[in-house]
Homo-oligomer: A and B are copies of this chain.
């Protein structure tokens, strides 16, 4: 079930189809996943989101796999089922091994545990952690 249709290439308008084509070219695959097909209901939003994904996830000061692991961590924490599935698959496609997946899960689980404790204890932030003023 969904709150909007997922658009096939045929059902999508020209503006959305151009984004689909850029996704295919950038990722070098024919597969366009449902997230983009659902966003095609609003081509301007689709274009804005894809533009940002393409720019942010490109290699930079962090490598693409590290970025994907961060994406999985956020998605699991937000409880977004679709996103956990799609970004875990993307991490594998970018080379994540089973051992790395296991450690990713262990860090996510640990962080949730200590986050919950810090919040339940309402621990005051140590002054040493402050960076408000420029160095």
**Secondary structure class of chain A's binding surface, majority of residues:** helix
**Among candidates B33, B49, B99, B134, residue contacting A126 with C-beta atoms closer than 8 Å:** B33
A35 and B118 in contact, given A97-B61, A110-B113 (Cβ under 8 angstroms): yes
Residue A121 at the chain B interface, CB threshold 8 Å: yes
Cα–Cα distance between A87 and B119 once the two chains are bound (Å): 13
How big is the A interface, by class?
Answer: 35 or more
Cα–Cα distance between A79 and B117 once the two chains are bound (Å): 11
Kindly report how many copies of this chain are found in the complex they form together: 6
Centre residue among A87, A118, A132 by max chain B CB count within 10 A: A118
- A7 close to B134 (CB less than 8 A): yes
Write the chain B residue with the least CB distance to A67.
B107
Contacts of A53 in B (CB 8 A): 110, 114
Chain A, range 49-98, C-beta contacts under 8 Å to B? 49, 52-53, 55-57, 60-62, 66-67, 69-89, 97-98
Task: Please give the distance in Å from A78's CB to the nearest CB on chain B.
Answer: 4
Contacts of A83 in B (CB 8 A): 111, 114-115, 118
- B104 close to A109 (CB less than 8 A): no
Residue A38 at the chain B interface, CB threshold 8 Å: yes
